[in-house]
Amino acid sequence: MSEQKIQQCSRIMAELGLTVAFAESATAGWLCSEFALAEESGKVLQGGITCYDADLKVSLLGVPRKLINQFTPESMEVTREMAYRLEKLIPSNIQVTITGLTTPGGSETKEKPVGTMFIFVRINGHEVGARKVFEGSCEEIIHQTISAVADLLINELQQIKNNKHKSTIMATKTSKKAVTAATRTPEAESALKELFIDELKDIYWAEQHLAKALPKMAKNATSEDLKQAINNHLEETKNHVARIEQAFESIGEKAKAVKCLAMEGLLKEADELLSETEKGTEVRDVAIISAAQKVEHYEIASYGTLKTLAGTLGYNDAQALFEATLAEEKNADALLTEVAENYVNEAAASETE
Ligand SMILES: [Fe+2]
Ligand SMILES: [Fe+2]
C-alpha cells in the first residue's frame, strides 16, 4: 500500500520540481529507502540521515541538548527542530523528520504510549506536523508511520499543485523584491539593520517578562487544560528566549533587552483582569485566555516582522530561528482557542445563568 503512495508522492514532487531530504529517528531510514525505490527518485531524493540515538540528534543535526532534555527526544518540539536543522545539512525543498516510540524503553508515559509517532514536514518553509498513535509490533508501527507520512505529503503536495498558479504570481513578486534588495543604498541597509536589532531587543525583553508572568496565569487558572496549555507554552517561551540569544549571536551582536512597552501593557492588563475576577471561577479562566491570546497575537506580529526583516537582510540563521518560534506562537494561540471553545466559554456562560 505504502509503496504506491510513495510512488505518487515522488511523482508529484518531480512534477513540481521539488527535492526531499529525511532525518529519521524511530523509522531508522526506512522511509528514505522507500523513496529510493520510487521511479522518480533520481530527480527528487537528496538524501537522509538516521539519528536513532538522542546524542546523534545533537552531534549530527545540531538540535540543542536543552530542547531534548526539556521535551524528550520523542516529541513534536524535537521533531520540528530536526526539520529546521536538516535543511542546512542537506539542502532541499522538502524536509521530513520522524521521531517516536516503536519499542518500550524510551520516554513513554500514560499520555504518550509506545506507538506514539511524531512527523514533521517542511515544504519550502511551509510546515505541518502530526502526532499519531499506532498499535502493533515495531514493524507494524513503522509501516503505519510511513503510510501516514505519505498521506500527509500527498495532501500537502496536491494543495501546492492546485495553487501553482498562485505560486507563480508569488515568485514574480519575490524576484521584484530581490531587485529592490540588490539596489538598496548602504544607508537604507544600515537603517533596516538598526530597525531589526531594535525589534530584537524589544522581543527579548517581552519574552523574558512573559516567562516570569506565565506561571502566575497558570496558577490562577482553574481548568486543567488551560493550566497545561500555559505551562507547555512557558517551556516554549524559555526556548524562545534562547533562540533570540542565538539570533543575536548569529549576526555578531551582544544580546540586549530594551523595555517593550506593548508587552508591559499587555501584562499589566492581565494582572488587572486577575484582580477583577474571582478565584476558582470559569470567568477568570476566560479572562486568562483573553489576556494570553492578546500576548500571542503581539508575538505573532513581532516574529512575522522579524522573520521578514531577517530574510530581507540575508540573516538566514536568524530567519530560521524566528520561523520556528512563529510556528510555536501560532500553535499556542490555536490551542488557547481550542480550550476556550471546548470547555471554558460554555462553563462561564452557565455560571452567570
Ligand atoms: Fe514567545
Ligand atoms: Fe508566546
Asked if residue 171 is part of any domain, the answer here is: no
Distance (angstroms) between ligand 2 centre and the Cα of 295 equals 7
Asked if residue 170 is part of any domain, the answer here is: no
pTM of the model: 0.55
The ligand minimizing its distance to the Cα of 303 is: 1
Within this chain, do residues 206 and 343 fall inside the same structural domain, yes or no?
Answer: yes
Asked if residue 93 is part of any domain, the answer here is: yes
Last residue of a domain, one of 130, 164, 198: 164
CB 282 within 8 A of CB 347: yes
The ligand minimizing its distance to the Cα of 335 is: 2
The ligand minimizing its distance to the Cα of 292 is: 2
Distance (angstroms) between ligand 1 centre and the Cα of 56 equals 27
Within this chain, do residues 121 and 229 fall inside the same structural domain, yes or no?
Answer: no
Within this chain, do residues 210 and 338 fall inside the same structural domain, yes or no?
Answer: yes
Residues bordering ligand 1, an ion, CB closer than 5 Å: 237, 240, 299
The ligand minimizing its distance to the Cα of 237 is: 1
Last residue of a domain, one of 133, 164, 195: 164
CB 63 within 8 A of CB 86: no
Within this chain, do residues 326 and 188 fall inside the same structural domain, yes or no?
Answer: yes
The ligand minimizing its distance to the Cα of 306 is: 1
* pLDDT at site 259: 97
CB 337 within 8 A of CB 293: yes
Kindly report the average pLDDT of the chain as a whole number: 90
Distance (angstroms) between ligand 2 centre and the Cα of 268 equals 16
Distance (angstroms) between ligand 2 centre and the Cα of 332 equals 7
The ligand minimizing its distance to the Cα of 266 is: 2
Distance (angstroms) between ligand 1 centre and the Cα of 6 equals 36
Distance (angstroms) between ligand 2 centre and the Cα of 239 equals 10
Distance (angstroms) between ligand 2 centre and the Cα of 62 equals 24
- Average confidence (pLDDT) over 275-297: 94
Within this chain, do residues 24 and 158 fall inside the same structural domain, yes or no?
Answer: yes
pLDDT digit string, tens, across residues 196-210: 999 999 999 999 999
Residue written as grid cell 508572568: 213
Within this chain, do residues 220 and 290 fall inside the same structural domain, yes or no?
Answer: yes
Asked if residue 28 is part of any domain, the answer here is: yes
Q: The CATH number of the domain where 150 resides is what?
A: 3.90.950.20
Count of domains for the chain: 2
CB count within 10 Å of CB 170 equals: 11
Distance (angstroms) between ligand 1 centre and the Cα of 164 equals 33
* pLDDT at site 127: 83
CB 324 within 8 A of CB 87: no
Rounded CA separation 138/110 (Å): 18
Asked if residue 173 is part of any domain, the answer here is: no
Within this chain, do residues 93 and 195 fall inside the same structural domain, yes or no?
Answer: no
pLDDT digit string, tens, across residues 178-233: 545 556 788 888 899 999 999 999 999 999 999 999 999 999 999 998 999 999 99
pLDDT digit string, tens, across residues 18-57: 999 999 999 999 999 999 999 999 999 999 999 999 999 9
Sheet with 20-24, edge to edge strand ranges: 45-50, 20-24, 94-100, 116-123, 126-133
Distance (angstroms) between ligand 1 centre and the Cα of 103 equals 34
Distance (angstroms) between ligand 1 centre and the Cα of 325 equals 7
Distance (angstroms) between ligand 1 centre and the Cα of 234 equals 8
pLDDT digit string, tens, across residues 65-111: 988 998 899 999 999 999 999 988 999 999 999 999 999 988 999 88
Distance (angstroms) between ligand 1 centre and the Cα of 294 equals 12
Give the residues across from 21 on adjacent strands: 47, 95
Asked if residue 169 is part of any domain, the answer here is: no
pLDDT digit string, tens, across residues 327-340: 999 999 999 998 88
Q: The CATH number of the domain where 193 resides is what?
A: 1.20.1260.10
Distance (angstroms) between ligand 2 centre and the Cα of 263 equals 11
- Selection from 186, 25, 7, 17 nearest residue 96 by Cα: 25
The ligand minimizing its distance to the Cα of 217 is: 2
Within this chain, do residues 54 and 130 fall inside the same structural domain, yes or no?
Answer: yes
Amino acid in position 240? H
Within this chain, do residues 123 and 192 fall inside the same structural domain, yes or no?
Answer: no
* pLDDT at site 33: 95
- Average confidence (pLDDT) over 162-180: 56
Rounded CA separation 289/325 (Å): 20
Q: Which domain holds residue 111?
A: 2-164
Distance (angstroms) between ligand 1 centre and the Cα of 240 equals 5
Q: Which residues contact 117 (CB under 8 A, 6 or more apart)?
A: 26, 98, 99, 100, 101, 102, 131, 132, 133, 134, 141, 144, 145, 148
